[in-house]
Chain A
């Protein structure tokens, strides 16, 4: 009992700090300009709301593990449920008390001289326009209510809980993307009179919200009911029929992939191209970091070399001495960047781990400074960069605009995917893996570590150069400041979040870290903050990444199991028999 309350207070305390933090840095107020559901809840309040709901839910989940058996009925359960919900409400109250405290303190002392974001607008937002006292009370009440609601959600049986949570998540997701949806709808020719009923630029309409909520629930329920029987029925079919299904899924996937830019429209296609570039970079960096185990924090250097060689070889600007077509330039670009990879790789061959990371970080910055420098200005354009990079022509067909550029990056990404897949099963992949595990022993097995390290750097660089080339063509002009350390960090983060070594993970990571922030312009100011937060949460909750490679997930979990086994064997050591050998 006492432990439960202490847990609720602890979680509420953490949640309160988060709520206070995002309020004080101005996130709540900035996000208040946009709504999840028009006239009901803004993104700013939504963030606070989700925070409270999650804290309530988590409190319930931790307390309720042994208490509530989902789907069980009777008095025992009713009592357990009451405990869970009570503690959830308590946690929610603690969360909101931090905000109430902020409101009260602000009414006495002017915090704005230090915390510039504690504006009257924020306060009136938090008090719902009421006076200080009444507002603080309302805040506390709402915190308690939603904390309790979060806990209540947990206490529901899972067949009810899952669709409900799915519905809320869909609502939040599509609400955030409402601006994009609206643009897309009007681009693909839905008359604005119709579209306006469901979604506006500032947020979903209540009608749209209800539809999305119901749709999510329907899909979730349908999934619950029909998914497994369907899979079962397919596996029962004769192999030839099964092949039809597999073929059908593939065909559907390919058609979807090809039609995607025309479904989502111009604006979103632009984001897709950017995401594609990062997917490509993720594949490349995965070779260096994921397979060969060389932590490279200066990956942007190769992206820059790719972009700059594209620019210099193809630009119509006077800086370019030779002006050749993109396709003629492509092999040269790849080779130049591959050589750059060798040049970066050679001096760091003897370095490991942290040292390697620091040195490569330096190389990344060097690349940018070279591009910026006046000394190289006649060849690289200095701070003015290189302009007039022509579009790519395919015969007489010009690849102009994001919707067509999408196919270029898609082709490159599929190529990189193919290479990565082949490497996985090859002798080279095996050598990298051995090297990553134990460099010295790999060497005594006859793995030429110098050769394989350089190979990893060169291959990673070559793949990044393709991304750089598309980037240059996409913008038709490049500037040194585009190639800062943030690019390296993003590429590495998406790898970690997706799951190091996992190719689908790269795709998911790129959409999560590049796609979503790009679509949610409001977030861009807080992008690095969110990266940091997401990375920390991932490392705690799911260190193997969102879509882990089976191998790595197995490792992480086996490591835990191995530790347990070790502890066990330590205690049982004296009863090991010679039969062990």
Chain B
């Protein structure tokens, strides 16, 4: 929103390999505090690798990942998570055998200080009243939409500076996708910076401030969401216009 702010999360010339295979080439992404930024791209374009690189599950071969001015690439995942990044994984991936409450508590694993945790639990309950009703139930027995809520709630429990979301629309019915994006917007409005990785470009751009388009590991377009929605190439390639 305020473009003069320094970016809270920044990928600077990031190149990532899986063994000998080039996954990301010279990726530059800037996310400013309070923004929602989306990264669009088709299958195997490197979206998930970008998230893994941010989280330190893959170490970039070149370039840096910078969080609030500090370089975080090269740190291990635990350290990076502790610095304030959390993720809603693709397909939600709850701890199916734990109860809903235990899942949420797992989200706050890195935190100490029960007061802050209790407050965030209340915040999650406000966002998702349904989750509160299901606290004692095993996560695996929830419906897809409920699992999505718990997954988002779990990530929020870490009280992150930046919330990463890996394909939140995947495997959900259309009306659930709409609801999910409404919630993402709501979370963003409450002050959490959000970085969404999506195939559903229309949906993602409708709530984002900025968008990046990734193609076989390279950023091919970067602009404000508004401009991207009007971009001719974008409309043809991703927004289903002939």
Give the segment of B15-23, B63-71, B97-105, B222-230 that binds chain A: B97-105
- Minimum Cβ distance to chain B for residue A551 (Å): 8
Closest to A551 in B: B97
- Residues of chain A within 8 A of B109, CB atoms compared: 427, 430-431, 434, 445-447
A284–B146 alpha-carbon span in the complex (Å): 37
Assess the B110–A445 pair: CB atoms within 8 A.
Answer: yes
Q: Please classify the interface of chain A as helix (H, G, I), strand (E, B), loop, or mixed, using the class held by over half of its residues.
A: helix
A72 at the interface (CB under 8 A from B): no
Q: Are B95 and A438 in contact (CB under 8 A)?
A: yes
**Is B231 interfacial (CB-CB < 8 Å)?**
no
Within B110-137, which residues are at the interface with A (CB < 8 Å)? 110, 130
Minimum CB–CB distance from A81 to chain B (whole Å) comes to 42
Within 8 A of B (CB), among A428-483: 430-431, 433-434, 437-438, 440-448
Tell me whether A558 is interfacial, beta carbon within 8 Å. Answer: yes
B95 in contact with A443 (CB, 8 Å):
no
B55 touches A433 (CB 8 A): no
Q: How many CB-defined contacts (below 8 Å) exist between A and B?
A: 83
B141's partner among A437, A443, A562, A576 (CB-CB below 8 A) is A562
Is A443's CB under 8 angstroms from B110's CB?
no
| A121 located at the interface, meaning its Cβ lies under 8 Å from any Cβ of chain B in the complex | no
How many angstroms between the C-alpha atoms of A186 and B117 in the bound complex? 64
Q: Cα distance A441–B175 when bound, in Å?
A: 26
- Closest A residue to B107 using CB positions: A445
Shortest C-beta distance, A425 to chain B (Å), equals: 12
Residues of B within 8 A of A448 (CB): 76, 78
Contacts of A431 in B (CB 8 A): 109
Question: With an 8 A cutoff between CB atoms, is A109 at the interface?
Answer: no
- Chain B 80-100, CB-CB to A under 8 Å as 1, else 0, gives 011000110100010111100
A578 interface residue (CB < 8 Å to B) = yes
Contacts A433-B95, A437-B96, A578-B175 given; indicate if A445 touches B145 (C-beta within 8 A).
no
A446 and B93: CB pair below 8 A? no
Residue from the set B87, B106, B130, B176 with the largest chain A CB neighbour count within 10 Å: B106
Residues of B within 8 A of A441 (CB): 89, 93, 95
Find chain A residues with CB under 8 A from B175 CB.
578, 581
Residues of B within 8 A of A565 (CB): 141
A554 touches B106 (CB 8 A): no
| A441–B174 CA distance with the chains assembled, in angstroms | 26
Query: Given the complex, which residues of B lie within 8 Å of A442, measured CB to CB?
Result: 95, 106
How far, in angstroms, from A95 to B174 measured CA to CA in the complex? 60
Q: Report whether A444 and B77 are in contact in the complex, using a CB–CB cutoff of 8 Å.
A: yes
Which chain A residue lies CB-closest to B95? A437
B residues in contact with A559, CB < 8 Å:
140
| Contact A433–B77 (Cβ < 8 Å) | no
A551 to B145, CA, bound (A): 25
Q: Is the CB of A445 within 8 A of B179?
A: no
CA distance A555 to B106 in the complex (A): 19
Residues of the B chain whose Cβ atoms lie less than 8 Å from the Cβ of A447: 78, 109
For the complex of A and B, 7 pairs with smallest distance between CB atoms: A446-B110, A446-B81, A581-B145, A448-B78, A437-B95, A441-B93, A445-B109
| 12 A-B pairs in the complex with CB atoms less than 8 angstroms apart | A433-B98, A437-B95, A437-B96, A441-B95, A444-B87, A446-B82, A446-B110, A447-B78, A447-B109, A559-B140, A581-B146, A581-B149
